[in-house]
Structure 1
């Protein structure tokens, strides 16, 4: 019996990298206010097309819906499902008319997705349980000069960006005295989350929805740890010491190489399934 394979992957710094790491020949797939923002390497696009044809590829990202919809997927790479907002939202593609053909420059905008109402219904109690407390925290820090950004994301979680990157850990500890809700620090960003809103829980729901018998996952940050832990086989960077995950071991490689390495490992796992 052929296995149903699910590949759930974080986007930023896993498959997608910013303009700061772009090299000549990389393909821009995201713009912000007219400026180039996100890139894939040509090799990533080549490999992702093959993965998308052989498995169910689902991005699982902490990005908001609006941030996700900025991406213009290269032809043949478009996922039919996407989880955003750290698991709060499932986007589905109602039609798949643009799923093949075309070159790397041909692209499909993610805005053709629609929200899955059944997913919304299942997450409503999770979000409602923390909603008032998150709003109160947001109000308490909205004018706090220690934070460059303080906002609710898709009415699901609180995002805080410290004005001083070096104070991220100290501010996370301080916020922890104000709430018993989970707090995640990822690089220079802080997230205050409802209990049960994490990428691992989202992956469990995806597994049930797709009927997958082999689940592969990739990620680079602490926000991805639940995703990696919930997968049958996982791929990550050395900075995230996730038990059981396969770790990228190419020091000084450029950002795109982690995406390429991951997709190579995913295709190997598919071939062996």
Structure 2
């Protein structure tokens, strides 16, 4: 079995996203930067993940850059996956090493299918004023991340901007204070399907919370999302009707329910003789 999961706000949570006080019992540091804990995972979710990771193919799938992924202590020291997908699908790490063939293929697909990065940025800059931008990064030479003052953003103009960028082969996702501008070819589903063909393991379970995770969840045989984030907001607004379940709890302890769901799928699959034996 394969379990492919988004990380931030799905399995691990920053201080602004945990939804409970930092001293709440049951939280385990997932990421420590300069001696300071910057993200947590729930103790119960971690225990289930560790148990399953010894039996299945677990793949982190994240919009983080390679460098940002590598600073997550949890996946460098405690649960060390053979495969990890970073840069929103733009890079695949195999035993910690970048798959250069995949990276080259993605770069060529971006050139074929999307307008130049400079053109996309100019469209964003025409809508998002400089004083609304806290920081801007061109991540792994693939996509843009703008940290913004969200309350200042004119959401109707952002929606029109997203439509225009969509016509040029770029997608827009607003997650908290982060505004992502991503080429269509840089996506999690293509990367996960590439790895899935490599490892030959069935079935695949996925979890994620943002619009950038929708293609990942759609590519899986089973999927679950937390009851927070863009996917849940779309469902609540009646914009989409999704077949997969949502957790009952938001915040860091949503990961407990996510991991319980994955464990149930694993137990059911092994009982049917699908995937690796327990």
* Cα shift at 1:231: 0.5
CA distance in 1, matches of 2:120, 2:147: 14
Alignment of 1:181 with 2:139, yes or no, is no
In structure 1, the partner of 2:66 is 65
- SS of equivalent residue, structure 1 residue 71: coil
In structure 2, the partner of 1:162 is 148
Q: 1:262 aligns with which of 252, 258, 265?
A: 258
In structure 1, the partner of 2:268 is 272
In structure 2, the partner of 1:225 is 214
* Matched length: 247
CA distance in 1, matches of 2:189, 2:83: 16
4+ residue segments displaced more than 6 Å: none
Residues 25 and 168 of structure 1: is their aligned pair in 2 closer, same or farther, counting only changes over 3 Å? farther
CA distance in 2, matches of 1:176, 1:222: 13
Gaps of 5+ in 1: 94-112
* Cα shift at 1:117: 1.6
Which structure is richer in relative contact order (CA contacts within 8 A, separation 6 or more)?
A: 2
In structure 1, the partner of 2:91 is 89
Give the TM-score normalised by the residue count of structure 2. Answer: 0.79
CA distance in 1, matches of 2:212, 2:163: 21
CA contact (8 A) 1:43 1:260 kept: yes
* Cα shift at 1:164: 3.7
In structure 2, the partner of 1:103 is none
CA distance in 2, matches of 1:177, 1:267: 39
CA distance in 1, matches of 2:131, 2:28: 37
CA distance in 2, matches of 1:58, 1:27: 20
- SS of equivalent residue, structure 2 residue 63: coil
* Cα shift at 1:168: 5.9
* Cα shift at 1:156: 0.4
Residues 164 and 232 of structure 1: is their aligned pair in 2 closer, same or farther, counting only changes over 3 Å? closer
Task: Report matched runs for 1:1-273 at 5 Å.
Answer: 5-20=1-16, 21=18, 22=22, 23-73=24-74, 76-93=78-95, 113-129=96-112, 133-138=116-121, 141=125, 144-167=130-153, 169-176=155-162, 179=165, 180-188=168-176, 189-238=178-227, 239=232, 241=235, 243-250=242-249, 255-273=251-269
CA distance in 2, matches of 1:169, 1:182: 18
CA distance in 1, matches of 2:211, 2:264: 26
- SS of equivalent residue, structure 1 residue 197: coil
CA contact (8 A) 1:9 1:217 kept: yes
Q: CA RMSD in A?
A: 2.4
